Structure 1
C-alpha cells in the first residue's frame, strides 16, 4: 500500500445486499482494466457495510482493490455485544477501516477519546485507519486548520506506528449538494498535508478529501490532497471511473514533479 493517489468509496447504508454485489462486480471490472489502478499509481479502496464485507472480498479478489470496514471496536475481543473486532476484520482480509466519521460522532456520541482508542486498535491490528476529521461549523480556513490539526493530534497521540489516511471532511459539507469551496479545501488540506509527513512512524500516510466529493473536484485541488473519499457520487460506477481518471492525471503530475 502507499500509491501516489488514493481514491476511496464508503457505501454507508445505502445499498441492499444484491445491489451492493452488482456494484462490486462493475467496479471490479473497472479496476481490472484501469491502467493506473493495475499499475499501482492509484490506490482504490471500497468500504461496504459489515454484511457486505465478505462478498466484497470475493468480488475484488485478484484485483488491487482494498476492502475496508466502516467502523471497528476499540477492543480486540470480549463481551462487547454488537461490536466488530478489528482483529477479526484483519483476519478475514480487511485492510482499511474508517474511524471517527462525523456521523459516528453525532449519532453515536463518539468522543475524541473514543476515536483515539479506535485508531490505536486499528493500527495494532495492521489495519490502515481512514481517520475522518473536519471542522463542525463553517469557518475561515485558518480556524478550520487549527481545529482539524487538534483532532489529528488527539487521534494519533498514543497510537502505534503505521500508515494513516487522513480524510479531511468538513462536517458542514457532508451530504451537501456541493463540496466545500476548492480554495478552502486547498488551504486546510494543504496544512494537513504539510504536517502528516512530519509525524513519526507514519510512512506512506496521506491526506484525502471527503464531504460531497465528486468528479471534477480533484483537478481543482491542485496538489493539496493525495486523493478523494467518495460517497453517494460514486454510486454510479461510471462516475467512479471518471474520478480514477482524474487521480491518474494527478499521479502523473506528481511523478513528473518528483523528477
Structure 2
C-alpha cells in the first residue's frame, strides 16, 4: 500500500516566532517517530512563504518534507509579488499546494490558472498537491464527478506526472466545526480513486477540510492520509494523527 501521508498547512495563522517553534516541534516528531524515519508515514509541512527557508533548514536532517502553499505559473518574468517554482525547488521544497478553495474563491483562480501552476510545479520537480472539492454538499456521485473534472483540467498541460497528491476538500467543510461525514467522504473518494486508475500508482489521495485527530481511523483505506489545517496547529495533535497513520499502515486501524 501507499505510505500514508500526513500534511499540514499553516496558512497565514502563525507569526514568525510561533512558526519557528512549530518547526522545532515537527523536527522532534520526525526524528523520534520510527514510522516517519523509516518512511512508513510521510510527513509534510506547508508554511507561509516568509518562513519557508527556516522550515527547510529545521527539517533538512529529517524525513519530513516541506512544501509551499502556492507558486507562480511562470518561472521568471514581470510577475510582481509572485514566487517561482524554480526558486521553491532550489530552496528545498518537495511539493506545492495548488487550487485550494480559498485560491479559487477569494483570489479568483480558474481552471486555466490552476493548470498553468500545476505545469509549473511539474517542470520544476515539485509534487503538485492538488486541492479539489465541491462548493456545496451534493451526492457522492456528483461530488466525485466534479473532483475528477478538476483533476483532469489541472493536469491538462502535464499529462501524467510521476507523482501527484490530491486533497479532497469539500468547500463546505473547510473551516467548519466538523469534517464532512465519514461515510460521505469514503463514498466520494472511492469513486474518485476509481476514475483515476489511468494515473496508476502515482496518486496519493487524502482528505482535508476540518480534519483532525480521530478521523483517519473512521475513513479507513478510502484515503491515503489527511491534509490538516488548524486542528493540527498544536504539535501534540499532529503527533496524534501521525500515530494514527502509523497504526493504519500496520493494519491496526479500521473504519468505525
TM-score (norm 2): 0.95
Match 2:226 to one of 224, 228, 232: 228
* Cα deviations by residue, 1:197-242 (Å, 9 ceiling, x for unpaired): 422xx64321000000000000001100000000001111110000
Corresponding residue for residue 103 of structure 1: 102
SS in structure 1 of the partner of residue 222 of structure 2: coil
Structure 2 Cα separation of the partners of residues 13 and 60 of structure 1? 20
Asked whether the 8 Å contact 2:2–2:224 carries over to 1, the reply is no
Structure 2 Cα separation of the partners of residues 112 and 178 of structure 1? 28
> Does 2:227 align with 1:253?
no
Structure 1 Cα separation of the partners of residues 41 and 66 of structure 2? 15
SS in structure 2 of the partner of residue 175 of structure 1: coil
Match 1:210 to one of 208, 211, 217: 208
Asked whether the 8 Å contact 1:196–1:206 carries over to 2, the reply is no
Corresponding residue for residue 189 of structure 1: 189
SS in structure 1 of the partner of residue 62 of structure 2: coil
Corresponding residue for residue 77 of structure 1: 76
User: 5+ unaligned residues in a row in structure 2: which ranges?
Assistant: none
Within 5 Å, give how 1:32-181 maps onto structure 2: 32-160=31-159, 161-181=161-181
Structure 1 Cα separation of the partners of residues 215 and 54 of structure 2? 30
TM-score (norm 1): 0.94
Matched residues, number: 251
Question: How much is the aligned-residue C-alpha RMSD, in angstroms?
Answer: 1.4
| Runs of 4+ more than 3 Å apart | none
User: 5+ unaligned residues in a row in structure 1: which ranges?
Assistant: 255-259
* Cα deviations by residue, 1:144-177 (Å, 9 ceiling, x for unpaired): 1111111111111221532110000000000000
Structure 2 Cα separation of the partners of residues 140 and 204 of structure 1? 27
* Cα deviations by residue, 1:15-71 (Å, 9 ceiling, x for unpaired): 000110001101110110111101101000000000010000111111001000000
